[in-house]
Amino acid sequence: MIYDSIGATDSEWAGKPYAAIRDTAEEDGSVLVVPVGSIEQHGHHLPVATDTILVDAVVHGGSEQVGADVPVLVTPPVWTGFSPHHLPFGGTLSLEFDHLRALLEDVALTGVENGFDAVCFVNGHGGNAALIDAVVSTVGTSTDAEVLGTTYFTLATDEIESLRDSETGGMAHGGEYETSLMLHLRPDLVADDDVRDGTVWDEHYDWGGSDLLDAGPLSVYRSFDQYSDSGAIGSPELASAEKGASIYDVVTSELAALLVAIHEHNA
């Protein structure tokens, strides 16, 4: 499923022979992009690979927009995430924090050994965010290459805010945002309307994050089964393929601009 498109784009690492990879890496200002997802429950209406499917699609969509003169390659997605808070529902595969950190460090450092001037992690799972921030620092102190990290749904939030139909909280886990993207990219994996059920966000700390567009200044650990019966939070019933297409266009354009900026800074 994830690898159906191997070799289909110029930015795809996995479909190239090693010499072509080295040639791209040795170009001035080359950028290696590492998508990082998860395998975790997303309620009754979305597949457990949602985060990996979406981040992989967004990264390839962005890399395809940078132009042939920008040397960018995208690794296969890291499909395991740090998801202990989803384990009670079942269907979730999670690495230990230190194991995933070591995996990402190894991917980045061996990528740099190929000659890349910059490495950018693009995350697709909220539970990975702090870990990727840590990896940016640990890898950054171990190499002369520039190391960066972002989470795709934190890009272009003002533009996406104008697309939403839900109130704040409706674009949380498995909600309007992710369900819309899946309806656009993989509608065959999304359950029918009558199965889309998200718990209304009920965060008792005003400083905590409300949904994917509002991270909030406060981090707090809570197992998902403590505040969601289905495993999803938000308003998946307000999702649509049309909205997903608009979100995809906005986010991939913003990511493309970021990749071009990274290239220019390192050229």
Structure tokens at 219: 């981090």
Across 3-24, average pLDDT: 81
66, 132 Cβ separation under 8 angstroms? no
Which pLDDT value is given to residue 205?
79
pLDDT tops 80 at residue 170: yes
Indicate the average pLDDT of the chain: 93
* CATH label of the domain that carries residue 246: 3.40.50.10310
- Secondary structure (3-state) at 36: strand
CA distance 73 to 14: 9
Residue 10 within a domain: no
For the chain, how long is the longest CA-to-CA vector?
54
Query: 31: part of which helix (H) or strand (E)?
Result: strand 31-36
Across 77-97, average pLDDT: 96
- Secondary structure (3-state) at 146: strand
Query: In terms of DSSP H, where are the helices of 81-211?
Result: 97-113, 129-140, 157-161, 176-185
Which pLDDT value is given to residue 4?
55
Taking residue 130's Cβ as centre, other Cβ atoms within 10 Å add up to: 12
How many C-alpha atoms does 265 have within 13 Å on its Cβ side? Answer: 13
pLDDT top residue among 84 and 217: 84
Residue 149 backbone phi and psi in degrees, to 5? -150, 145
Which pLDDT value is given to residue 2?
46
pLDDT tops 70 at residue 114: yes
Residue 11 within a domain: no
57, 49 Cβ separation under 8 angstroms? no
Structure tokens at 204: 């008792």
27 burial (CB, 10 Å; 0-12 / 13-18 / 19+) is middle
CA distance 196 to 75: 32
- Domain residue limits at 193: 18-257
Which pLDDT value is given to residue 1?
39
Residue 95 within a domain: yes
Residue 5 within a domain: no
Residue range 232-244, pLDDT digits in tens: 999 999 999 999 9
Residue 245 within a domain: yes
pLDDT band, very low/low/confident/very high, at 5 (cuts 50, 70, 90): low
Query: 251: part of which helix (H) or strand (E)?
Result: helix 241-266
Q: What is the DSSP letter of 210?
A: -
pLDDT top residue among 7 and 109: 109
Residue 144 within a domain: yes
Residue 13 within a domain: no
CA distance 49 to 71: 29
Which pLDDT value is given to residue 197?
85
Structure tokens at 32: 């290696």
Q: What percent of the chain has pLDDT over 90?
A: 82
pLDDT top residue among 206 and 33: 33
59, 106 Cβ separation under 8 angstroms? no
Which pLDDT value is given to residue 233?
92
pLDDT tops 80 at residue 181: yes
Residue range 196-217, pLDDT digits in tens: 988 876 677 788 888 999 988 8
Query: In terms of DSSP H, where are the helices of the chain?
Result: 18-25, 50-63, 97-113, 129-140, 157-161, 176-185, 241-266
Residue range 115-168, pLDDT digits in tens: 999 999 999 999 999 999 999 999 999 999 999 999 999 999 999 999 999 999
92, 86 Cβ separation under 8 angstroms? yes
pLDDT tops 50 at residue 231: yes
Residue 107 within a domain: yes
CA distance 210 to 227: 13
61, 42 Cβ separation under 8 angstroms? no
The total of structural domains in the chain comes to 1
